[in-house]
Amino acid sequence: MQQHAMCEGVVRGAMLEGLRAIERLFDRAFDAPGNPWRHLGALSFFFFWIVAVSGIYLYVFFDTSVGGAYRSVERLTAGQWYAGGVMRSLHRYASDALVVTLVLHLAKEWLRGRYAGFRWFSWVSGVPLLWLAAASGIGGYWLVWDGLAQFVAIATSEWFDWLPFFGEPLMRNFLTAEAVSDRLFTLLIFLHIGVPLALLAGMFVHIQRVNHADTQPARALAWGTLAALLALSLAKPAVSHAPANLALVPQPLALDWFYLALSPLLYQWSSGVVWALAGAATLLLLLLPFVARAAKAPVAQVDPANCNGCARCFADCPYAAIVMRPRAGGRLGHKHAVVIPGLCAACGICAGACPSSTPFRSNERLVTGIDMPQLPVNALRARLERRLRELRADRRIIVFGCDHGAAVGGLESPGVAAFSLLCVGQLAPAFVEYALRSGADGVLVTGCRGSDCAFRLGNLWTGERLARRREPHLRANVVPRRLRLAWAGAGEEGTLARELDEFCASLASLPRNDAKRSATWRRRALSMKGMPDA
């Protein structure tokens, strides 16, 4: 068992490294905001809306009668090739793309281990979306009522006939020349509208525990994707097979393998085997978060005495794990933060958002409104002060990184002190100024690449805080040339090292930063001499 787990870990690690290589390749071509691999969830929403808009257009011209369904689709395809034909092709290809992004999104989250712990709800709520997406597409093929629709209808009905829920076989009730009626097509169009609406509702349930969910791709990515779909629609329009004829066996068909991959299996294996395969895969996905339980990290802790109710932690939490509640015995409307343990990602972004997380506070022991017990702000301040005293090079540089981006430990040298945080979002901007005022010549801040933060928003919030676009912000008295941001993901340590070398070279043109340390700082530094690293 242990050998099997080790082998699985090696394979998974190799696949993850391959994924990162692909992401970096696309980053160079499109930059992170335009990289489709980093916005698979947003692209899924985007493709859904393309399918919805094109579907509404097709519905306006669609004839829901048995005899008129096929003819109306053909009129759209041939008679309106410039509009209806393009819309039909766009509807088809966007539907296929939706399946691709859904599956890739699931695979990517699995490879990164983002399915257990506080993420279990998002993972479990996402599994039914695969079934709803498949049902939406398969139902759409019925409506065309050509040879492919006939094959899909027969295969699907035979598959469902295996289930014991139906007293009479579906084939006998629905798929005979006498049973196929206008009423059946009214039911089919109702299902083809209702199932996608259920899919949309499920997609919004899927992101309910995610603040600031990525549901809209960047403008360049959206327009580029739409242009690619339009080009494909014009170059290879979607067309119908011959009209359905239940008296004949359909001739060789061009299958849509994105939606109909299971259909051929029904003629190779029994319906029961295919149900067992689909059911086992679904059950495995649903149980995965509970089987692969990891040790839970300590969650954020609130100190009501130091919480002023500003709600910045509430606004910045990526997973809606913080709520604001009335303070017991306080003034009317006065609130304080409360952490919901089951939702907390233990990322520390809330600590970086707290205005009391400033190292300039003169308290001998720095207690903040909200903090992480495994890496409290007080311990970070103490270690920063100790490392600043130990630096011996002409140029002293402080590096703040995170545990999930490029490893910063290898950057340590006589002139460089590196600090790895739970997430770079844990870094309060005041620490940058504190390091510079305490003798550092420069501060390098790094973390996961743009749209691939392990906790979704840590690097974004940090960038905005340091750019003075988000509270708490970096004060204007920090010399811009003494601060550098260099985003680098796991495995990009070489890139980060080159960024550090360039930063060191740029600092050579600046005078030494002879800090004017406050009396409070000197007293604290003297009192901590000889103390172990906190």
| Angle made by CA atoms 476, 482, 488, in degrees to the nearest 5 | 110
Question: Residue 342 half-sphere exposure, CB side, CA atoms within 13 Å?
Answer: 4
Tokens of 33: 């905001």
Q: CA of 86: how far to CAs of 192, 234, 235, 259, 351, in Å? A: 20, 7, 10, 20, 51
In which residue ranges of the chain is CATH 1.20.810.10 found? Answer: 31-250+259-291
3-state secondary structure of 474: coil
How many C-beta atoms lie closer than 10 Å to residue 276's C-beta?
A: 12
Which one-letter DSSP state was computed for residue 245? Answer: -
530: left (phi over 0), alpha (psi -120 to 50) or beta: left
Q: CA of 462: how far to CAs of 8, 305, 474, 482, in Å? A: 35, 26, 10, 17
The whole-number pLDDT of residue 199 equals: 96
The whole-number pLDDT of residue 363 equals: 73
Residue 182 near residue 65, CB atoms below 8 Å = yes
For residues 400 and 513, what is the distance between their CA atoms, to the nearest angstrom? Answer: 19
Which H, E and C letters describe 232-263, residue by residue?
A: HHHHCCCCCCCECCCCCCCCCCCCCCCCCCCC
Tokens of 141: 């093929």
Distant-in-sequence, close-in-space partners of 66: CB < 8 Å, separation ≥ 6: 145, 180, 181, 182, 184, 185
Q: To 10 degrees, what angle do helices 2-30 and 86-111 make?
A: 130
Tokens of 132: 């709803």
- Burial class of residue 242, CB neighbours in 10 A (0-12, 13-18, 19+): middle
For residues 447 and 496, what is the distance between their CA atoms, to the nearest angstrom? Answer: 10
- Burial class of residue 227, CB neighbours in 10 A (0-12, 13-18, 19+): exposed
| Angle made by CA atoms 331, 337, 343, in degrees to the nearest 5 | 150
Tokens of 76: 């759209």
The whole-number pLDDT of residue 172 equals: 53
The total number of residues written for the chain in this structure: 534
* 343-363: b (≥16 Cβ within 10 Å) or e: bbbbbbbbbbbbbbbbbebee
How many C-beta atoms lie closer than 10 Å to residue 291's C-beta?
A: 8
Residue 496 near residue 446, CB atoms below 8 Å = yes
How many C-beta atoms lie closer than 10 Å to residue 469's C-beta?
A: 10
Tokens of 71: 């003819």
Tokens of 431: 């620490």
For residues 148 and 152, what is the distance between their CA atoms, to the nearest angstrom? Answer: 6
Sign for the CA dihedral angle at 143, 148, 153, 156 comes to negative
How many C-beta atoms lie closer than 10 Å to residue 207's C-beta?
A: 17
3-state secondary structure of 308: coil
For residues 51 and 226, what is the distance between their CA atoms, to the nearest angstrom? Answer: 11
Q: Residue holding tokens 């329009």? A: 237
Measuring CA to CA, which residue among 208, 209, 216, 219 is closest to residue 41? 216
How many C-beta atoms lie closer than 10 Å to residue 23's C-beta?
A: 19
Element (H, E) at 442: strand 442-445
* Domain at 31-250+259-291: CATH architecture: Up-down Bundle (1.20)
Residue 327 near residue 401, CB atoms below 8 Å = no
| Angle made by CA atoms 159, 102, 315, in degrees to the nearest 5 | 135
Q: Residue holding tokens 């035979």? A: 158
Give the DSSP letter string of 77-98: IIITIIIIIHHHHHHHHHHHHH
534 residues of the chain, pLDDT tens digit each:
455 455 656 788 888 889 888 988 898 888 888 899 999 999 999 999 999 999 999 999 999 888 889 999 999 998 888 899 999 999 999 999 999 999 999 999 999 888 988 899 999 999 999 999 999 999 999 899 898 988 888 888 888 888 887 656 655 555 566 667 788 888 889 999 999 999 999 999 999 989 889 999 999 999 999 999 999 999 999 999 888 887 777 777 888 888 888 888 888 888 899 999 999 999 999 999 988 777 788 999 999 989 989 999 999 999 999 999 998 766 656 889 999 998 999 999 999 999 999 999 877 788 999 999 999 999 999 999 999 999 988 889 999 999 999 999 999 999 999 999 999 999 999 999 999 999 999 999 999 987 788 999 999 999 999 999 999 999 998 999 999 999 998 889 999 999 999 999 999 888 887 655 444 444 454 444 443 333
Helix, strand, coil percentages (3-state) for the chain, rounded to 5, are: 55, 5, 35
Tokens of 208: 């309910």
